[in-house]
Structure 1
């Protein structure tokens, strides 16, 4: 893919329903999806899940999520920088309605899946939160739908069939998603093949950040993007990182991942030239 295929500025995939709409066809891959829906006060949005599982994650504001006969009240949050959020899981082959009395902005993170799991509520207090790295590589990672990772760490706080999703807050001036790493081939116990979406929001007006993706093989993905609130970057393959926050402006990103593996694993390979430079990643 070219750099213009990988970096999707705010509005590049917008339609009448979504400010961001990335599905496998648009991304040129097979598994991962992300939609951002904005609701005015009293607004509603209805969608069918098809052959994918979805998580409804409030970015700003709260909502009610109706999934078949179940109803979940999501308290949400003031902004992605304020706190973690509760969320709702919707299985494949169902109908979902989101309603927000005060209005808000909501992420729909999706992955094509095989098992049909039950609709469920994810409480904010149960989201595993960790402070990773140190110094200029310090950041906060919210593992709300994580999976088994390299090195034996398992922070899977919520069961999905294929979907993996986390949030990261990088303080202004810091680097995250570092050292550069990849997950574009299947190597049992060492690396899992996963398509990945980065969705960004920047704290404060006129803020920006940078995202790097570079080839792990000849002809692979290659982009250095200046990202602003509402932008997305696709990572179908290749080394990715760092994600760099402008000084004075914290950077948020939502990672959505899925792949063809028989088991749901988040196993990554670090770039050998940079692995000694910091004690952590993401």
Structure 2
């Protein structure tokens, strides 16, 4: 067998191997895409049916799209007020969380002091603590503070429980920020707050956006503590409103599904808007620190 023939066989085997690798790669991608998107698509289609169509065949298309279900969702559960509460809580908690995490990350990455790594380790361990295990202590604390059944309790709680992951993300960017740039600003007469707010924060905005996106999604979708710390209709968030479509005898499934679509839409839109920053932040944070 000539050398040319041998090279041709090796090349053909390599091409077959590359083809099979590419084939299985796309099979996995398509599988996970369908696995992820099909429930959302089914939920949206079902929210446009009548209850009779839903019970007759859950996987059929609606004969006539029932957009009235979305109107019913707002009317039956007062979703407008609950969406407003969720926006106030999520936005305020996210701003507080990211600002405090940025300050903490700056201190942990810039200043050298005894116990710095211990503090960072303790905050990192906070990511592993199951939040449901802390329901009783949190409820007792807010009861003594007189903040139960108020949006303030949710804002403080959400801002606090998101600090570990936000600090973990932002610290990587703060640590990779060149100290020479900050020193040059100091020589030019820039004060501490000027350097932090006008230089450090703008130049590490990718990490801030990444942390803010995760924090906002967490605040928006959280149910357990929202149900625990609020009781009156004027303080409930959008996730609590989904329960209003179920009573002792009947359940308005299609309107409930419409409410679910409304509740998850901001999370999807927010991630789509900041997708590049989130992916860039996570991949950069994986090699910086």
Alignment TM class, shorter chain as reference: under 0.3
Tell me which protein shows more helix as a share of its residues: 2
TM superposition score normalised by structure 1:
0.21
| Higher RCO (C-alpha 8 Å, min separation 6) | 2
Higher-Rg member (1/2): 2
Tell me which protein shows more strand as a share of its residues: 1
TM superposition score normalised by structure 2:
0.20
